[in-house]
């Protein structure tokens, strides 16, 4: 596992900041995905710069490896770009991870934003360069006020974000919100924040891009994974030693979980089996993951988890 370098903060985003829109993983799912991403940038006061191959498609990929890599590296090398915002996740970034121009970020640090499959890119950048990256909404999706508030709080202000707020209780009985945050193991812990999609973290094991989680606050989320698959991935992380020395664990949402079909274990039982014996604070149900209303989490900065209260606090600035 890689011990991250000294923390480097990208410049804050503000009115007129130029943002490269790239698709290093899966293709756009709707014809207007790119147009909506450009419109979202405009609403945020940002200037969108779509990659040349952002609308390409090759099966389940957003074009060839060469074209996806080219768009990403062009954006990373451009000194006029303040942020690289991924259109979506899907699959594909791990195919090009070893060819990314990480060195370009040494001379021109910039915010890199996304989640899901983009977890691998975020972790690789932070592990390789020490640059803070951002697990947050993709550029193509709608941005509710809760999501926008946290996006701007983290990316637009060079101050510590402090305690992140929870979703307010829903007043819509037809569309209830997810249950409140639950405590698996009470306690408080501080450490640098790492994590993202569970499946992608698992696939980084044995590569130079897997973060060293000793003393860290680890956050996890996933989508469309049956409980037995979550069980298997956590078992792999545990047996590979990836969880050794972790300070605390903040679990987001495991959404769209398919039925195991044969009366499998519940999520609480799966989490308890693998994370309970670690003896560190663990809370789950935080607004992180494949959900419309989500936090933007800065990877690499110090954070504090209060598992009993279900609170996560960002202790230092994520941008300069």
At 29, phi and psi to the nearest 5?
A: -95, -25
Active site residue 290: yes
Active site residue 268: no
The Cα 220–Cα 230 span in angstroms is 11
Q: Look up residue 268 and give its two tokens.
A: 């609480």
pLDDT at 262: 67
Contact 28, 88 (CB under 8 A): yes
pLDDT at 124: 98
Contact 39, 105 (CB under 8 A): no
Rounded to two decimals, the pTM is 0.95
- 25, 53, 116, 227: which is the annotated catalytic residue? 116
What's the gap between Cα 70 and its chain centre?
Answer: 22
Class of domain 18-155: alpha beta
pLDDT at 292: 94
- 17, 53, 150, 221: which is the annotated catalytic residue? 221
Domain map (residue ranges) of the chain: 18-155, 162-314
Active site residue 42: no
The Cα 175–Cα 181 span in angstroms is 18
- 53, 290, 293, 311: which is the annotated catalytic residue? 290
Residue 34: burial class (beta carbons within 10 Å; 0-12, 13-18, 19+): buried
Residue with tokens 């979202």: 40
pLDDT at 318: 98
Q: Look up residue 186 and give its two tokens.
A: 């009470």
Domain 162-314 CATH (choose: 3.40.50.2020, 3.50.30.60, 3.30.870.10, 3.40.50.300)? 3.50.30.60
User: Taking CA 14 as the corner, what is the angle to CA 9 and CA 17, rounded to the nearest 5 degrees?
Assistant: 85
Instruction: Return per-residue pLDDT of the chain as tens, 320 residues.
Output: 765 578 999 999 999 999 999 999 999 999 899 999 999 999 999 999 999 999 999 999 999 999 999 999 999 999 999 999 999 999 999 999 999 999 999 999 999 999 999 999 999 999 999 999 999 999 999 999 999 999 999 999 999 999 999 887 765 555 556 667 899 999 999 999 999 999 999 999 999 999 999 999 999 999 999 999 999 999 999 999 999 999 999 999 999 888 776 667 999 999 999 999 999 999 999 999 999 999 999 999 999 999 999 999 999 999 99
Computed from CA positions of residues 120, 74, 38, 42, in that sequence, does the dihedral angle turn out positive or negative? positive
Q: Look up residue 145 and give its two tokens.
A: 């006020």
pLDDT at 176: 56
Query: Which among 232, 250, 234, 241 has a CA at the least distance from the CA of 212?
Result: 241
């Amino acid at each position: 596992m890689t011990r991250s370098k000294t923390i480097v903060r990208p410049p804050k985003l503000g009115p007129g900041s130029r943002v490269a829109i790239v698709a290093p993983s899966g293709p756009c799912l709707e014809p207007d995905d790119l147009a909506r991403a450009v419109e979202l940038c405009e609403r945020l006061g940002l200037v969108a710069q779509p990659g040349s191959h952002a609308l390409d498609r090759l099966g389940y990929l957003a074009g060839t490896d060469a074209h996806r890599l080219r768009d990403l590296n062009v954006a990373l090398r451009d000194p006029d770009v303040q942020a690289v915002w991924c259109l979506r996740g899907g699959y594909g970034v791990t195919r090009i991870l070893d060819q990314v121009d990480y060195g370009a970020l040494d001379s021109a640090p910039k915010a890199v934003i996304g989640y899901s499959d983009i977890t691998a890119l975020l972790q690789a950048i932070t592990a390789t360069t020490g640059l803070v990256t951002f697990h947050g909404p993709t550029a193509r999706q709608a941005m509710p006020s809760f999501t926008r508030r946290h996006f701007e709080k983290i990316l637009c202000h060079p101050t510590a974000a402090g305690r992140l707020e929870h979703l307010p209780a829903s007043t819509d009985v037809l569309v209830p919100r997810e249950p409140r945050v639950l405590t698996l193991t009470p306690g408080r812990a501080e450490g640098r924040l790492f994590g993202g999609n569970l499946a992608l973290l698992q696939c980084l094991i044995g590569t130079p891009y897997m973060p060293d989680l000793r003393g860290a606050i680890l956050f996890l989320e996933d989508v469309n994974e049956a409980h037995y698959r979550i069980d298997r991935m956590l078992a792999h992380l545990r047996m590979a030693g990836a969880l050794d020395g972790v300070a605390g664990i903040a679990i987001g949402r495991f959404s769209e979980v398919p039925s195991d079909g044969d009366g499998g274990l519940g999520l609480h039982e799966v989490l308890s089996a693998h994370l309970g014996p670690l003896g560190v604070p663990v809370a789950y149900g935080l607004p992180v993951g494949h959900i419309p209303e989500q936090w933007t989490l800065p990877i690499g900065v110090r954070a504090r988890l209060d598992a009993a209260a279900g609170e996560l606090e960002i202790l230092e600035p994520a941008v300069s």
